[in-house]
Structure formats: structure tokens, C-alpha cells
A and B are shown apart, each in its own frame.
Chain A
Amino acid sequence: MDRWLLGLSTLLALVGGLSGLLQVCRGKRSRWTLAWMTSAFAVQLVFLTLRGQAREACPLADLGEILAFLAWSLTLFYLLVGPAYRISLMGVFTAPVVVVFQSLALLPGMMLADPQPVAGGNPWHETHSATSVLAYGALALAAVAGVMFLVLDHELKEHHLKSGWFRHLPPARELLTSLQRLLWIGMILLSIGVAAGLKMPRDASATPHLIAALFVWSAYLALLAVHKVRGIAGRLLSKCTVALFLLSLGVFAFV
């Protein structure tokens, strides 16, 4: 049942992304993407509730659940940020990332078919897992905003002002503002996650994971510090945001 729900949510996000893409290619506003993504979010919520009930804890016990939770967190931040900033096109950029995360989660072996309650749950562990994945949702959306900025920057630099992308992308300064705010939100959540990770009882096998978390946290902190103190061009900030997010995904895939 829960797999079907995740599949349905993936399908809704796919339809939202594709319909938005088609609208943009026709030079029109992707006005239905928000509705499709809201539906996908609702189904994600039901899926996570079912898994959470089965686990009797936050559903972050296997890689499939982590990816599904990450996709939910990304969608949540999109729904919070997108409409507030009138960033209608953000859904078209967010939907593919949600589809990729959830498709990976649906791959055989990623998610237990019969989830069992998590034994020996600890509040610090739960806080660490939940806030970290929420943080990556915000950082993923920051990366999405970064990609959007890079597309707009390219169109502006090359004087390609006729495309549907150009007409419907929000202004560059607004994109950079939302990117920075998402980075800060992600950073705050990640800090809570890392602090909770340091507090939680752990064995030696968890040390590389914690070091990787500290490494990612430090990299984001350095980026924000450079931006705040010295300033950084929008293009470089966007590239760094995308690269750091991909790097952090890579790090946690292997560590």
C-alpha cells in the first residue's frame, strides 16, 4: 500500500513537472504545477504517516524512507517559498528532483516492504535525523533556485530573451534572495541536526557519518560566511550551492 502511495505521489509530481514544462515551452505560465505539487505533497504525507505508524518513530529507518522524507521536505519548502515569492516556475524545476528522489526510493531493496518498529529509539537520534533531512530539503530547494538563477543568468548574458524560460523566470535578484534565505534556513536546521547528532548515543560505526555531517555543515557555513562578509557573485553562489548539495548527497550515499 505505502509503495503504491509513493508511486502515486511520484506520478503526480511527474505530471506537474511535465505539464509545467510544456506550458513554459509554449510561452505560457505554468499555473497548474502548484496544484499538482500540492497533491503530490498530500500523498507524500499519507505515505510518511503510514510508515511512521509502522515504525512507531520518524520514518527514517531505511534509505528509501530517507529519500522519501527528503522529497517531502523539498516539496514542503517549495510550497512555502514558491507561492510566497510568486515563483511559479520553481515547481517545474522542483518536480524533477522530487521524481528522482522518490524513484530511487522505489527501487528494489531501498525500502523495506514490511517496516518494523524502531527498537531503542532516542529523542536526540530522532531530532538529528528529522532536522537533518528537513535541512537537506531546504538546501535542495536552494540548489533548485541556484539552477533557476543559472538559467536566467545565461539567457541574460547571451541576450536570449525570447524563450519561455526567460519570460517566466522570476527576477535574478529575487531568485538570489530566496536562495540565500533557503541557505540560512537549511543551515539553521542542519546546525540543530549536527548538535543533536553530537548528543545522541552512538557507536564507533557512526563516527564517519558524523564527520561527514560536520564537513558538509562547515562547507555551507564557509559559503554563507564568504557571502555575508566578502560578497559573492550570483553565478558563483548558485554554482557553489548546487555543487555543495550534490556533494552532500554523494557523501551520505557512501558514508
Chain B
Amino acid sequence: MELVCLGLNHQTAPVEVRERFAVPSSRLGEQARIVRETSGATEVVVISTCNRTEFFLASPEPAAVLAALEAGLLNACRADAELASHFYRHHRAEALHHLCRVVSGLDSMMLGETEVFGQVKQAYQAALESGTTSAVLNRAFQRAFAIGKKVRTVTRIQEGATSVGNVAVELAGKIFGHLEDSEVMILGAGEMSRITAQNLRSRGARSIFVTNRSFERAVELATETGGLAVKFDEWQRILERVDIVIASTGAPHFVLRREDLEAVRRARKFRPLFLIDIAVPRDIDPEVGTIDEVYLYDIDTLEQLAEEGRGRRRRQIEQCELLITREIDASTLPGI
């Protein structure tokens, strides 16, 4: 019996190819059963996320099973044979190593992301419930989950924010702790504002006020983020109560100046204020950042911090790989 893997991911296939082989999460177990019947494999687990579709199989005749699976997939998707060039294949320890890299987030588009761990667990659970796993895949997946957990606890592969939105949310957490008591104002309804506001909302921000020169657009974004639209000439009044301001208007000049904030400091009782300026040209006068209770971050600073986060994660790859190899070498598993 041999463990093998056949799949494609964001590194080997563009999205228009990946989407043809994607399997909805509700059908992973059913798909595993179909693959087992059509390919002749003894055990099957199907993993499908936005970045990958992979089939982990156990069979005494791996070459024949892989060929049957590949032909079956191309046939089911009515795809040309040349699409097969997007597939990769891994055998035995190499397949387990690949699975460990996937659950550890080393094979993800956003290095070290944690979501994939849950997605692989869900895929394995679906296969388990469909009865398509046995000794080889059960032990391989259990081992991969244990190694994945170790990688995430021993190394720093998942530490730090790696996108502008995440950096902003992390900083908000460092300033305010729980965001349940924090109110947010979006000044200018751009795409980055929407993403950052949604990140803050998902972290528990109490309420969101959206203001924009076009009130219709403000209403639209407010509806999307579960917030409240405010007329653009009223934003200074809202500034008195909010804790976080995300500015991304298209104005060619500063929208928020020192005097605007000085006017409301007393009313705010000098509470901390986190200003996120993601507009180019900038919306917030840098002079505002010199006010004691104000923490001002512009797009360049946030992007630089995100890049530093990505760099830190990249520097952890070697340590993670070493840990995975050492753990696999120390394992005695069937099919490896």
C-alpha cells in the first residue's frame, strides 16, 4: 500500500483552471466516494480550497490509480489533456511532506495562514464520515495535523500581520484591546476602507459610521458593513465619539487637519484616537500625528509593516521545513 497525492494549486494553475476542478465543501465526502469507485484506490481524501484541489490516495497500485484519477478528472471537467500539465504528483514520504506543508500554511498564497488547517481537517472529516479512509490515510492525516500544530507553536510562521488590513486591525487591538467598546468612522468609501472596516467589524468593533461626498455611496457601504451613513458635512461631529478613523477620500488636499482635531479634543476627553490614512494623496495632515493621544499611520507605513510581517514569515520557512522533515523521519507510518 502506498500513499500518493495528485493535485493542483495556485502555483501550478491559474484561477480559471483551478475553478474547473474545485469541489464544494458540502460535496467533499461524496466526491471522495466517487474517486474511490472510479480510480480503484483503497482510500481517498479530497481537499478543495480556493487555492487548491488535491486528492490523497492509498493504493497497492499507485501508478494505475493516479492515471485513472487523472483521466477521470479531465473527463468529468471536459478538459483538454494539456490541462494535466497543471497537476503535480507526490509519492510516499514526499506526499506526507506535502500534506504537512499544506496544513502548516507553507503552501498557501498567504504564507502561514491558519484557515487552511481547518479546511484540511474538514476535508478529512468528510472522508472519514464517508468511509473512504482507513489505516494509511487516517494515520497520515493524524500525523500531519500533529506536525502542523507543532510547526505553528514552535516557529513564528503565523505571527504578525501580512496585509494592510490586518496590520490596521492588529494596531487597533494594541491600542484598544477588545474592540467591543470601539467605534469606527470611515471617511471616503473606497475599497480599502471597506476591507479594513470589515476586518475591524469582524474583530468586534461596536459601530461603524460611513461618510462620503456621495451620500448614496456612503449608504451603500454602510449597508454592506452594518454601519450608519453620515452626511459628509457632519463628520467632524462624529469625530467626537469615534476611536478609529479610516480615511480614503479622493480629495487632492488634507481633509483632516490639526485644527479639526484640536476642536474636539476636550469633548473627546483626550481619549486615544487611531487614524488610518490609506488615501493617496493623503487625507490626514501628518501634523495631526504629533497630538499626544493620536496614533497616525499612512498607507506607506502600513504597507511597510505588512511587508516586514511577510518577510518575518518567509524567514521562518527553513525552520518549518526542517521541523517537518525531522518529524516525518521520526515517524513509522504505513504507506510511507
CB neighbours of A234 from chain B (8 A): 270, 272, 292-293
Q: Show the binding face of B for A, using Cβ within 8 Å.
A: 156, 171, 173-177, 266, 268-272, 289, 292-293, 295, 297, 301, 305, 308
The verdict on A231 contacting chain B, using a C-beta distance below 8 Å, is yes
Q: List 18 A-B contacts (CB under 8 A).
A: A27-B156, A159-B297, A159-B301, A161-B171, A161-B305, A171-B176, A173-B175, A173-B272, A174-B177, A231-B266, A231-B268, A232-B270, A233-B292, A234-B272, A235-B292, A235-B293, A236-B270, A236-B292
Query: What's the least CB distance linking A83 to chain B, in Å?
Result: 16
Which of B173, B175, B270, B295 sits near A231, CB closer than 8 Å? B270
Contacts of A230 in B (CB 8 A): 266, 269
- Scan A155-185; emit 1 where CB is below 8 A from any B CB, else 0: 0110101100010011111101000000000
Most B C-beta atoms less than 10 A away, residue of A162, A172, A174: A172
B-chain residues with CB within 8 Å of residue A156 when the two chains form the complex = 171, 174-175, 295
A162 to B47, CA, bound (A): 36
Q: Whole-angstrom distance between the alpha carbons of A156 and B305 in the complex?
A: 12
A194 to B175, CA, bound (A): 36
Q: Which of B174, B293, B305 has the most CB of A within 10 A?
A: B174
- Other-chain residue from B156, B174, B176, B270 in contact with A233 (beta carbon distance below 8 A): B270
4 nearest interchain CB pairs? A231-B269, A171-B177, A233-B292, A233-B270
Q: Chain B residues near A162 (CB, 8 Å)? A: 308
A233 / chain B contacts, CB cutoff of 8 Å: 270, 292-293
Would you call B174 and A166 a contact (CB within 8 A)? yes
Residues from chain A with a CB closer than 8 A to the CB of B268 are: 231
For A171, list chain B residues within 8 Å (CB): 173-177
| Residues in chain A near residue B176, CB distance under 8 A | 171-173
Cα-based distance from A121 to B174 in the complex (angstroms)? 50
Question: By the criterion CB–CB under 8 Å, are B174 and A172 in contact?
Answer: yes
* Besides the known contacts A159-B297, A172-B176, 5 further A-B residue pairs in the complex with CB atoms under 8 A apart: A166-B174, A172-B175, A173-B175, A231-B268, A236-B270
In the bound complex, how far is the Cα of B269 from the Cα of A106, in angstroms?
A: 44
CB pair A173 B305 closer than 8 Å: no
Nearest chain B CB to A241 CB, angstrom units = 15
Complex CA gap A157/B174 in Å reads 12
User: What is the CA–CA distance of A156 and B156 in the complex, to the nearest angstrom?
Assistant: 22
- Residues in A with CB closer than 8 Å to B269 are 230-231
Question: Which residues of the partner chain A approach B289 to less than 8 Å between Cβ atoms?
Answer: 157
Distance (whole angstroms) from the CB of A197 to the closest CB of chain B: 34
Kindly identify, within residues 162 to 217 of chain A, every residue whose CB is under 8 Å from any CB belonging to chain B.
Answer: 162, 166, 169-174, 176
A157 to chain B, nearest CB (A): 7
A232-B174 Cα distance, complex, nearest whole Å: 20
Query: Separation in Å of the B164 CB from the closest CB of chain A?
Result: 14
Whole-angstrom distance between the alpha carbons of A94 and B290 in the complex? Answer: 30
Q: Which A residues lie within 8 Å of B292 (CB)?
A: 233-236
Give CA–CA (A166, B297) in the complex, Å. Answer: 16
B-contact bits for A140-161, CB 8 A (1 contact / 0 none): 0000000000001000110101
Residues on A with beta carbons closer than 8 Å to the beta carbon of B301: 159
Q: How far is B167's CA from A166's CA once the two chains are assembled, in angstroms?
A: 14
- Please report the C-alpha to C-alpha distance between residue A169 and residue B174 in the assembled complex, in whole angstroms: 8
A72 to chain B, nearest CB (A): 30
For A176, list chain B residues within 8 Å (CB): 272
Chain B residues positioned under 8 Å from A27 (CB to CB): 156
Contacts of B173 on A, CB cut-off 8 Å?
A: 171
Closest chain B CB from A23 CB (angstroms): 15
Chain A: CB-nearest residue to B176: A173
CA distance A161 to B305 in the complex (A): 8
Bound Cα distance from A169 to B177, whole angstroms: 11
Query: Does the CB pair B174–A159 fall under 8 Å?
Result: no
Interface residue from A161, A173, A232, A236 paired with B177 (Cβ < 8 Å): A173
- In the bound assembly, the distance between CA atoms of A159 and B297 in angstroms comes to 8
Taking the nearest CB of chain B, how far is it from the CB of A115, in angstroms? Answer: 46
- Residues on B with C-beta less than 8 A from A161 are 171, 305
Docked pose: A15 CA to B270 CA in angstroms: 38
Q: Would A170 and B297 count as touching, CB distance under 8 A?
A: no
CB neighbours (8 Å) of B305 from chain A are 159, 161
Bound Cα distance A170, B270 (Å): 20
Q: Which residue of A lies closest to B172 (CB)?
A: A171
A176→B176 CA distance, assembly (Å): 10
User: In whole angstroms, how far apart are the Cα atoms of A36 and B308 in the complex?
Assistant: 35
CB < 8 Å: which of B177, B266, B293, B295 contacts A170? B177
Residue of A169, A231, A235 near B271 (CB, 8 A) is A231
